[in-house]
C-alpha cells in the first residue's frame, strides 16, 4: 500500500488532511520521533505563513505558483535562508502529493 500514491488520486485535499496524512506516512515509514516533530513544526509554520498571506488552504491542489512566490518573498523579507525556504517548500510538496 502506497499512501502517497493513494493521496495523489484524491481531488480535494485540505492542508489539515494533507498535514495529518503526511505525518502518518512518516510514522509508517519508521522515521524517528524527532524527525516527525521537526516536520510537524515546519509544516505548522508553513501553514501559518500561507494563512497570513491570505492563501486558501481548503484544497491544497488549488495552491498556485503565485501563492508559492508570495510565500518565498515573505520568507526572504523575514531574512530566512534560501536553503530553509527550499526545505519548507519540499515539505509542502510532500504534504499534498
For 28-74, write each residue's pLDDT tens digit.
Answer: 999 999 999 988 998 898 899 999 999 988 988 888 888 888 888 88
CA-to-CA separations, 95 to 13, 23, 79, in angstroms, rounded? 10, 8, 24
Taken in order 91, 93, 94, 95, the sign of the CA dihedral is positive
- Provide the pLDDT confidence category of residue 12 given band limits of 50, 70 and 90: confident
Q: Which domain holds residue 20?
A: 3-96
Q: What is the pTM of this model?
A: 0.69
Amino acid at each position: 500500500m502506497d499512501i502517497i500514491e493513494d493521496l495523489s488520486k484524491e481531488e480535494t485535499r485540505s492542508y489539515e488532511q494533507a498535514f495529518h496524512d503526511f505525518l502518518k506516512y512518516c510514522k509508517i515509514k519508521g522515521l524517528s520521533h524527532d524527525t516527525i516533530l521537526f516536520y510537524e513544526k515546519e509544516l505548522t509554520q508553513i501553514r501559518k505563513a500561507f494563512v497570513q498571506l491570505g492563501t486558501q488552504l481548503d484544497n491544497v491542489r488549488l495552491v498556485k505558483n503565485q501563492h508559492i512566490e508570495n510565500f518565498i518573498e515573505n520568507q526572504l523579507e523575514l531574512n530566512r535562508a534560501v536553503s530553509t525556504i527550499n526545505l519548507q517548500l519540499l515539505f509542502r510538496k510532500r504534504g499534498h502529493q
